[in-house]
Structure 1
Amino acid sequence: MKRVFFFLLFLSASISFSQNAVKSFFKLSRPEKCWVIFHPFAALKVMDLAGVATYRADSLKCDKTFDGDLNGGQLDAFRHAYWMALNVQKISRKKAEKLGVKHEKGNYLDFKKRKNEDCTLPDSVSCAMDLFNNRAGLEIGLKNRGSSEQELVEAVKSEVLNGNLKKIKKDQHGNLIDCDGKLIEKEAFKAKWNSTKCLIKSNE
């Protein structure tokens, strides 16, 4: 009953803050909705940060020091790490980490429903990549508490370029390859959770 009260309070506060916030809630996966219900006030603090991280990653597409890859590449790694770094500026590490885990659980449910994330079906390797970069982002955020948004961007960029995050291995044409450098045919991972994709350092 107490949780229902706090959830209703969250919705009330969200409505006064933004009608879009309420719409956003109903677009979340079931695990993410559970996180919001259990942490309504934390949710209010971080509700827009995923969008901020996506915007920042998109803005780096023209930066020639990055690979320009938003789906499994350096910019994907940046987006997840920066998102968590922002979150831990606003809420506790424990709550932020749980949010990241719930998001990935939502991706698994999306896979089961054949629902795409970033134009592709989620899979086990993409999930492992995201979780690794989420945890790295938490550490970056904790080390840079009190930093400006731009300073935080630079801190995450540095971690990407120094190889401290993870990305998915691809050839020079953007084709997926396994850890032995062999091309992965689309049929090999189509509609399969377990994948032969290969995680590598973000500067490789």
Structure 2
Amino acid sequence: MELLLEELSVLVKNIADYSYEIYQHSLNVAIIAASFAYYLNLPEEEIFLFLIKNAGLLHDIGKTKIDIKILNKSEKLIEEEWKIVKKHPVLGVEILTPYPWARSFLSLINYHHERWDGNGYYGVPGNKIPLGAKLLALADAYEAMSSDRPYQESKNLEQSLKELESCSGSQFEPFLVGKFIQLSDKIINQLGKDGVFKIGVHQFK
């Protein structure tokens, strides 16, 4: 466990050193996804929270292999740039494969941009997407909408939830969207508390 925490800390620091914005986004995604998983009362909760929290922290680590100028571009990406950005899940898997403790959640990172309708990065349909990847996708989308980006202004909670609802059945699994909206107050309440985020008995720093 001590080695795991040490290696995880180094990887997260690498993300922060590359881009503080990606680090903050990753931290928030981890908190949102783990909180969502906790309030869904999933079986084998301890194991699943370990997977989803660490997958959330590291889901965008592949972006550290992409030119930051592309990631920070305020104009619409050209086709070649978009192809590069879409490689970040597989790049993340390549970075994390040497770590035995990460192998159990590599599929979550690899598939976090898949869509319920099968029109995601790899064209994987919803019934074949791991549950953890679906939760990450929702957390990722919500966090991105609620944060200022070079290409968009942030949305408030109501606007973000309305956007998620509009994507129910296409980008996201309808059942999970409904549960996210139902639990949104509890989920979002975990963000921004003195740098320590509590989910039940779990803490994320």
TM category (shorter chain) comes to: 0.3 to 0.5
Structure showing greater radius of gyration is: 1
**Normalized against structure 1, the TM-score is what?**
0.32
